[in-house]
Amino acid sequence: MQKTEAQPDPPEWGAPAVALPTSRALLHERVPNQREVAQPDDQLGSGAGRSDLEVAAAPSGPRFLISDLLAELEAYLPRDQVSEVYRAYLFGAEAHQGQARQSGEPYIYHPIAVARILAEMRMDYQGLMAAILHDVIEDTATGKEQLADRFGEAVAELVDGVSKLTQIDFPSRAEAQAASFRKMMLAMTRDIRVILIKLADRLHNMRTLDAMMPAKRRRISRETLEIYAPIANRLGINRIRVDLEELGFRHHWPWRHAVLSHTIKAKRQGQREMVKRVEQTLRARLDAEGIEAEVSGREKHLYSIYRKMREKGRAFDELVDVFGFRVVVDRVDTCYRVLGQVHDLYKPVPGRFKDYIAIPKSNGYQSLHTGLVGPQGVPIEIQIRTADMHRLAESGIAAHWMYKSAGEGSGPQAAAKDWLQGLIEVQRESGDSQEFLEHVKVDLFPDEVYVFTPKGRIMVLPMGATVVDFAYAIHSDVGNTCVAARIDRRLASLRTALRSGQTVEIITAPGAKPNAAWLNFVVTGKARASIRSYLKNLQNREAEALGQRMLSAELAALGVTLEDIGEPRILAHALECGLADSARLFSEIGLGNRMPMLIARRLAGPSETVPAAEAAGAETEPQQSEPTGRARRLAIRGTEGMVVHFARCCRPIPGDPIAGLFNPGKGIVIHRSECRNLGDFHSKRDKWIDVEWSEDPQAEFPTEIRVDVGNRRGALATIATAIAEQGSNIENVHSRDKDGMTTTLDFLINVTGRRHLAEIMRRLRQIPSVTRIIRLSNAGRLREGISKR
């Protein structure tokens, strides 16, 4: 089959074009036919079964053969478990019979390849069976129940966990992908093997991506770089992370990959002797000190170098530590002895030492990192770790299966457990699948800061995390009630970004609550999800209270009260409308999704019925005549919260005649009655509600005034002082020159009502340099002013 090669993107660095490498392996295994597969007694338990297996997998090439896989499994699994894996293969081969991949290869090659990747991690037999069967639910007529009957509930759950949601129609590809991702991540919180199977699946797909069209390659590789490689990093599986990043980089940016690869190869030729000399020098020094160690040179991976270039805005020649070395010893204390020796050999670079042994990374990674000035002034980096740390660094959570010594309490295991627990909390707080995906992607951070609680507990947060992120990392209740912080015993604001080594103490207040503005600066998924969840619940509570008041007003016009109607009747109507309870009905009214007038008529009695369409939420005017009573106007206090909004176009304040317009899903928007944006609202009775100001509003309201003042020094300060003396706060001010002699100042100030505004304007009129004062809307259409001559 003719391979489809990616077209290089246009040159960005001015380097010559380089031929792009390819990585797709050509597979040549024959799939067993129907007769070979369908024999249920074709098991591996006897010599006859093994010979049948060899017939079923008759190889014409050495790679990804089922016989090779089973031979590898026999090195660490009991024979009866290997037999179960083979049984899963027979079932999978039959289920995928006649299916082919984009490359033209029989589809069964892919599941076998996925199982081979997991076998390298020493995955257990159930995980291997699920790997071979991982596409049968999604791509064949096989159901989860059928798999459970044949292979047990555990295998069926694993296969279902990695299967996409194909039975549900979604409005867009993005929503479908987000929903499938959420399903997979929740399955992962129950069984970590789900994500290991998915990572192996993605790795083989990336290795065979050349068969795809360029656009699809770029989409899949971008998803790999944004989601799956960071997940592998979060679980500490370095070997899979590196492969995913390198393949993702090559397919998403083929030209950049080729140019950078060419540049590094050229650099490597010139530094080969230097690398050899550093290795020899390190070995000689450690041997002289009686330290047994394994020393090896290592090169930074292409994607790691590229990411640094982008993040720091540097050219390749400006990067340091492109060349690295690793020293592996037997004991932790020896790591620090080696550190002293290498610092004696080469000059340390200030700020380039990191002790991940004392403070491990969030994925459990441990090592000492130190940046040094090597021979000929070439920057180098040396990593120092124990053999156990090295195994865990490469395998992460997969070390649970690979090494018996890596138990549940190992670094990656404990780190993964904490992360999964955090995912459960984020999922609980997230509104929908796309929001959940956004939060998870935010938390898959590559760079971290390490800060301390007052009691010395270490908290690991993403780079750029703020005080609010720290508060939510401690507990949701702490985040919801935080008002300030002390960083190293000094007061700090909530939006302060944290740095490693700081000690942070959160100050809370019982009446405090999250602010929507926090979403503009928090960075962790948990903080964002918790804030959004709180605000949504708060909005629902406020909508419920407002909706109950609105319905009471409409019922009063009909001569009845909510108490007269009774809870059972209200609940029955809510259920007719498809709502869970009466509280949800009130919320729908408060959010503007249902008309209180129509619901009031329905509840008032048989004589006041409305069309059946209203029960389904239709907002149509009933055909009956208007009731004789008039609904009591809804009193606006200013404390209704997120369900009553004050229009910015006219900025109403107490004392202004007002009208309320329904904004479905958000509540009521209050306008001044003369606002031109209202149009002929009286003709649309179902779109507005009678409102009035309460006798004693409990809030301050923003309004705008324009002041023309003569150009003189200190004029702005004089006006600002006068406004403050009248008990008003200035939220914003904008100035512009009018005619060379006069400056126009637009103030956004907070007032309690028209009387308060009049007092401020009278006070400003007393300032000699003020020539004109007007109140205006944002568009400048509504004006009340006083001019001075």
- The residues annotated with a catalytic role in the active site are 138-139
Pairwise CA distance, residues 774 & 785, whole Å: 4
Q: Are 575 and 584 within 8 A, CB to CB?
A: no
Q: Residue type for 374, please?
A: G
Displacement of CA 407 from its chain's centroid (Å): 30
Pairwise CA distance, residues 234 & 606, whole Å: 62
Orientation angle between helical segments 467-474 and 525-557, nearest 10 degrees: 80
Pairwise CA distance, residues 654 & 498, whole Å: 43
Query: Which DSSP state fits 782?
Result: S
- Scanning the structure block, which residue is given the tokens 């987000």? 178
Instruction: Concatenate the DSSP letters of all residues of 667-733 into one string.
Output: EEEEEETT-GGG-SGGG-GGGEE-EEE-SS--S-EEEEEEEEEES-TTHHHHHHHHHHHTT--EEEE
Tokens of 171: 């409005």
Query: Which DSSP state fits 473?
Result: H
Q: Cα dist. 686→75, 521, 552 in Å?
A: 75, 39, 17
- In terms of Cα–Cα distance, which of 393, 415, 120, 423 is closest to 241? 393
Q: Are 61 and 108 within 8 A, CB to CB?
A: no
Which residues are 508's β-sheet partners? 482
Q: Helix %, strand %, coil % for the chain, to 5?
A: 50, 15, 35
- Scanning the structure block, which residue is given the tokens 């000035």? 373
Tokens of 736: 């512009």
Pairwise CA distance, residues 27 & 582, whole Å: 63
Pairwise CA distance, residues 252 & 240, whole Å: 18
Orientation angle between helical segments 411-429 and 173-190, nearest 10 degrees: 130
CA triple 616-622-624, angle to 5 deg: 145
SS (H, E, C) 2-71: CCCCCCCCCCCCCCCCCCCCCCCCCCCECCCCHHHHCCCCCCCCCHHHHHHHHHHCCECCCCCCHHHHHH
- In terms of Cα–Cα distance, which of 703, 717, 734, 733 is closest to 769? 717
Instruction: Kindly state the helix (H) or strand (E) to which residue 382 belongs, with its residue range.
Output: strand 379-386
Question: Following CA atoms 479, 485, 487, 488 in sequence, which dihedral angle do they give, to the nearest 10 degrees?
Answer: -120
Pairwise CA distance, residues 161 & 158, whole Å: 5
- Scanning the structure block, which residue is given the tokens 């003042």? 709
Question: Residues for the chain: how many in total?
Answer: 789
Q: Please state the φ and ψ torsions of residue 413, each to the nearest 5 degrees.
A: -65, -50
Q: What b/e readout covers 736-760, taking b as 16+ CB neighbours within 10 angstroms? A: eeeeeeebebbbbbbbbbbebbeeb
Give SS3 for 326. strand
Displacement of CA 250 from its chain's centroid (Å): 25
Pairwise CA distance, residues 248 & 243, whole Å: 8
- Cross-sheet strand order for the sheet of 770-776: 730-737, 742-751, 701-710, 770-776, 784-787
Helix ranges (H only) for 558-639 are 562-565, 567-576, 582-590, 596-604
